[in-house]
Structure 1
Amino acid sequence: MLVNIKSLFTLAAATALVRGQEQATAPEDSAVVRLTTDTFEDFVKTHPLVLAEFYAPWCGHCKTLAPHYVEAAAALESKNISLAQIDCTVEHDLCMEQGIRGYPTLKVFKSNQFESPAEYQGGRTADAIISYMVKQSLSPVTVLEGEDAAADFKDLLEESGQPVIVDSGVEGANATFYELADLFRDDFTFVQYAQEGKGNLAIYLPKSDDPIVYDGKQTTLADLLEWLSVETKPYFGEISGETYQSYMASGLPLAYFFYSSPEERSTYEEFFTKLGKEHRGKLNFVGLDASLYGKHAENLNMKEQFPLFVIHDLGKNLKYGLPQLSEEEFEKLEKSLELKTKDVAKFVKDFFAGKLEAVVKSEEIPEVQESSVFKIVGKNHDEIINDAEKDVLVKYYAPWCGHCKRLAPIFEELAEVYAFDSDAKDKVLIADVDATLNDVNVEIEGYPTLYLYPAGNKSVPVVYQGARTIESFLEFIEENGSNGVNGAEILKRKAAEQEAAIEDGDAEEEEVVEEAEVEHDEL
């Protein structure tokens, strides 16, 4: 019987891929290095380029990634590029320190920099991982010199499309400049170009001829990181899926201008650019296309009435918006809304003066708790989580979220465990809050997000990242809560009492049947 060799190889590869998908953890004989809390830091500090996967063995996406990750690790090993795995179901503290919110999370550690990883931005196939990591190993700085340097620099500024960071010969800053470039090679263009009469660091923003010169006295990595986080943003930028995280990471309040058309944005461009320059480093100004992202107005506690101006204080998670029309007034409106620049300028001035009142979104506080899971709303959120006597586990959810719906009955059962014990119910509270209807000053990157606020240590909440089972939740609360309540023991007692009650019920039923039979015999 003739066999097609190509078909056999294809079948073998497909079989290997399917088998690989069964396990998220790389095989021990692969080039993937398994790291723990004890070995992680030393490994990163002794290897120049590391791609680290933070995963959970039960995660479906991790299982899909696994064979590609193993293949890429084998190909990159000879290039001194390391691929590692950290099991977050085991290394809880490490994953928490790294801010892991979902699986798999991939981070790139360069130049032995343990504290400043970059998010992996490539695809999740073996070829994509190999290509991305090889690029990360190349020099991140373009050096311009010779007769054509001036012309090349001019062309680079015109063609870059992103901020260009230039070192024109700062004494003693060469190594730090390369570190900086290595961290942000995907975001900015880094150039070394020695210009006569200059010896500084400067940023050239797209469509701007005037460089922003660094005026700091220190050129440490921390100083330059702070400088870049502020000065590389446009005076009046555009927020989208690609830029959103960058603005969030800056920590500065964010001023949104919702526009309905490119023409409308263009009308206000000069005004907002001027405001952006005036308040540089204190308030970021961005445009938002309402035709694409108009629903975001609801997240800022505003109605979809455009054009619209809103300021979001990210640090305090407070939203401030110019007054809007009632629904009835808006429906009767016969002409387009107008956003007056003088009103915006005054609004910004009042924001800095602390004269504005935040627009807070909250459901009403329930008069009666209808479930063993305590319902929190925006108005009482801080009061409940800051209960000094209780370990409070809170689920932040969205009603439309499928994962939240599947977790609901488990969370209900969890709450009933602690409610069963008179002592435990005074020490542990299981609660939830609809984060789409209530403002809470909590970092939520996805639904559901679960935080434990330990009694007496509310300033350091612990994010839950384990399996969504009763046993795992009980163990997590006992280990991370301040009160050390043994929920597993309570669960055993609760189950035993329920079983005893069922047996007693069966015995009573048998007794009734026997009595009935005796009466029947007498008849």
Structure 2
Amino acid sequence: MSISNKVHELDATTLQPFFDAHHVVLLAVLMLPQSERSQELVPVLQSIADASAIAVGQINVNGNGNWDAVSSFGITTYPHIMLSGGWGGYKVYRGALVETSIVSYMNRFLKFPTITRLEPGTLRSFQSSHDVVVVGYIGPEDSTAATHFENLAKAMHPEYVFGVTDNIDFARADSVDVPAVVVYNNATQERCKVPITHDLTQMQTCIRKAAQPLVVELYPEIHDDLLDLDTPFAYIFTTPNSEALTVELPSLARKYHGKLQFSSASASRVPSIVADMHLASAPLPAFGIREPLSNRKYPMPTPASGTTFLAAVEEFVKAYIANTLNPTLKSEPTPPPSPSGLIKVVGTTYNTIINDPTRDVLLTICTAHCAPCHRLYPVLEELAASYSAEEAGKTTIATVLYDKNDTPLRRVRAFPTILLFPVGGKGAPVRFWGERTVRGVRGFVEGNRGVS
């Protein structure tokens, strides 16, 4: 049954014809009824469809043939939204799944070309046209920089709006050395110069960092992307509809801008993040800091009686920046050795075992109640026993319970996940996708090991 006379329910047979029949399509890829976030998105889609002239569709990938229909989009988590100007010209939306953010993204897609050519009479108005505007200052003969900027805009529009000028006088007036990209963050009233290079990923990261507001409104679906910017991340968890901190928090965030990225969310909206930060759901508000690269967590104790929350936060931030805080670590007790040689990694032993520079380490990441994980244990035990018998200290076969122990691995979403940490490549583990048999896993280890 359709949720709205303007929201079209699609399947594997109707998806492409729907795209072909409409100039612009907003598509939501959902997993119903399992995904609570998908359920929350349904009325948002209805509201957008009722207020918009573009075609809005939804496709449900709940264990049916629709999986194959969306596989070409490269979407692996649900729900997800994409915006398309045709079957082959889609953009995957990376923002919060709330109506205001989605509509703003749609408007940038509809109203702005990938790159706006800026003239003397339009530059200043363009710079102030949105919260974040990206302008390329490129010399008229610099085809290499022009190509790099074009690739950047194609990759990121309509996440942001992009303009370009080859007028050197414009660049001089803004004290910009050509060629360069300048991010105008009108929300923070700051601008950031980004060098134009061949490294598209690096430029994207720099732009996203420069584009962040002083205080991010945190939602589960944008959390990982924010952490991927690698700026130490500060969380303030509040009660629903709390407005008590909105006046004072931005000034505190501005004071530490560039050193910490502040965020705020009601604890009830992001309960798993609250728990992952080793904080309780009460009392609120609560505060913590995470280092994205190491995944170390620094939860702030409840402020002492008579101390205001923000005063306690500032003192905690000062201590963090001074490097006088110790992170907390969730860990099971260190287990006794296994007769098979299969090593059980816990939070306190992770770095010692995984980062052993002399051994290739195959780590299977599990959760306590994962049935496929339990079925895999006999394979891992046999594999561990065979390596123990055949070689002297070259290969470690290990497991870790992801829900019971803190690790530096942030983006694991499927269980079991099998990773090989080879000698000489500990920072770039190789993921196993093959058949989960002794022969299949052993062949993977032998083909990717760092020890000869």
Task: State the TM-score, normalizing by the size of structure 1.
Answer: 0.58
Listed one character per residue, the Cα deviations across residues 103-138 of structure 1 (whole Å, up to 9, x for unaligned) are x8469xxxxxxxxxxxx9638xx99743517989x9
Contact 2:219 2:269 in 1 (8 A): no
Greater mean deviation of Cα atoms: 167-176 or 431-440: 167-176
Q: C-alpha separation between the residues in 2 aligned to 1:451 and 1:67?
A: 29
Identity %: 24
Superposed, 1:336-415 pairs within 5 Å as 340-369=309-338, 372-415=341-384
Residue in 2 aligned with 1:474?
A: 442
Residue 241 (1) aligns with residue 220 (2):
yes
Q: C-alpha separation between the residues in 1 aligned to 2:367 and 2:239?
A: 28
Residue 288 (1) aligns with residue 248 (2):
no
Superposed, 1:303-314 pairs within 5 Å as 303-305=280-282, 306-314=284-292
Shift of 1:309: 0.6
Shift of 1:356: 0.5
Q: C-alpha separation between the residues in 2 aligned to 1:151 and 1:358?
A: 46
What is the DSSP-based 3-state SS (H/G/I as helix, E as strand, rest coil) of the residue aligned with 1:476? helix
Superposed, 1:74-473 pairs within 5 Å as 105=74, 122=82, 129-132=87-90, 139-143=113-117, 149=122, 153=126, 157=129, 163-167=132-136, 174-192=146-164, 198-199=170-171, 200=174, 202-205=182-185, 208=187, 211-215=189-193, 218-220=195-197, 222=199, 224-225=203-204, 227-263=206-242, 266-305=243-282, 306-324=284-302, 340-369=309-338, 372-419=341-388, 422-424=389-391, 426-446=393-413, 447-455=415-423, 458-473=426-441
Contact 1:360 1:439 in 2 (8 A): yes
Q: Any unmatched runs of 5+ in structure 2?
A: 1-12, 15-61, 93-108, 175-180
Contact 2:232 2:261 in 1 (8 A): yes
Contact 2:184 2:192 in 1 (8 A): no
Shift of 1:410: 3.0
Residue in 2 aligned with 1:55?
A: none
Listed one character per residue, the Cα deviations across residues 366-408 of structure 1 (whole Å, up to 9, x for unaligned) are 2353765321111112222244554321112112334423433
Q: C-alpha separation between the residues in 2 aligned to 1:403 and 1:240?
A: 30
Shift of 1:432: 0.6
Listed one character per residue, the Cα deviations across residues 178-201 of structure 1 (whole Å, up to 9, x for unaligned) are 332112113112234899974345
> Root-mean-square deviation (CA), in Å?
4.2
Contact 1:259 1:290 in 2 (8 A): yes
Shift of 1:215: 4.5
Contact 1:169 1:198 in 2 (8 A): no
Contact 2:182 2:192 in 1 (8 A): yes
What is the DSSP-based 3-state SS (H/G/I as helix, E as strand, rest coil) of the residue aligned with 1:309? strand
Aligned residues: 359
Q: C-alpha separation between the residues in 2 aligned to 1:456 and 1:131?
A: 40
Contact 2:191 2:210 in 1 (8 A): no
Q: C-alpha separation between the residues in 1 aligned to 2:147 and 2:169?
A: 22
Listed one character per residue, the Cα deviations across residues 403-425 of structure 1 (whole Å, up to 9, x for unaligned) are 42343343334334435xx3337
Contact 2:228 2:292 in 1 (8 A): no
Q: Any unmatched runs of 5+ in structure 1?
A: 1-12, 15-59, 70-82, 84-103, 108-119, 330-334, 485-523
| Shift in alpha-carbon separation, 1:438–1:133, aligned structure 2, 3 A | closer
Output the amino acid matched with 2:230: G
| Shift in alpha-carbon separation, 1:227–1:211, aligned structure 2, 3 A | farther
| Shift in alpha-carbon separation, 1:234–1:65, aligned structure 2, 3 A | same
Q: C-alpha separation between the residues in 1 aligned to 2:152 and 2:159?
A: 11
Greater mean deviation of Cα atoms: 453-462 or 387-396: 453-462
Q: C-alpha separation between the residues in 2 aligned to 1:133 and 1:296?
A: 27
Shift of 1:293: 0.9
Listed one character per residue, the Cα deviations across residues 158-185 of structure 1 (whole Å, up to 9, x for unaligned) are xx5x622245777756544333211211
Residue in 2 aligned with 1:506?
A: none
Output the amino acid matched with 1:474: R
Contact 1:122 1:128 in 2 (8 A): no
| Shift in alpha-carbon separation, 1:401–1:274, aligned structure 2, 3 A | farther
| Shift in alpha-carbon separation, 1:418–1:280, aligned structure 2, 3 A | same
Q: C-alpha separation between the residues in 1 aligned to 2:264 and 2:321?
A: 20
| Shift in alpha-carbon separation, 1:195–1:61, aligned structure 2, 3 A | farther
Task: State the TM-score, normalizing by the size of structure 2.
Answer: 0.66
Shift of 1:344: 1.0
Output the amino acid matched with 1:349: K
What is the DSSP-based 3-state SS (H/G/I as helix, E as strand, rest coil) of the residue aligned with 2:90? helix
Q: C-alpha separation between the residues in 1 aligned to 2:369 and 2:87?
A: 34
Shift of 1:310: 0.3
Give the structure with the larger helix fraction: 1
Shift of 1:351: 0.8
Q: C-alpha separation between the residues in 1 aligned to 2:124 and 2:356?
A: 65
Output the amino acid matched with 1:465: W
Q: C-alpha separation between the residues in 2 aligned to 1:424 and 1:105?
A: 40
Q: C-alpha separation between the residues in 2 aligned to 1:472 and 1:66?
A: 25
Contact 2:289 2:298 in 1 (8 A): yes
Output the amino acid matched with 2:88: I
| Shift in alpha-carbon separation, 1:296–1:213, aligned structure 2, 3 A | closer
| Shift in alpha-carbon separation, 1:128–1:244, aligned structure 2, 3 A | farther
Shift of 1:139: 4.7
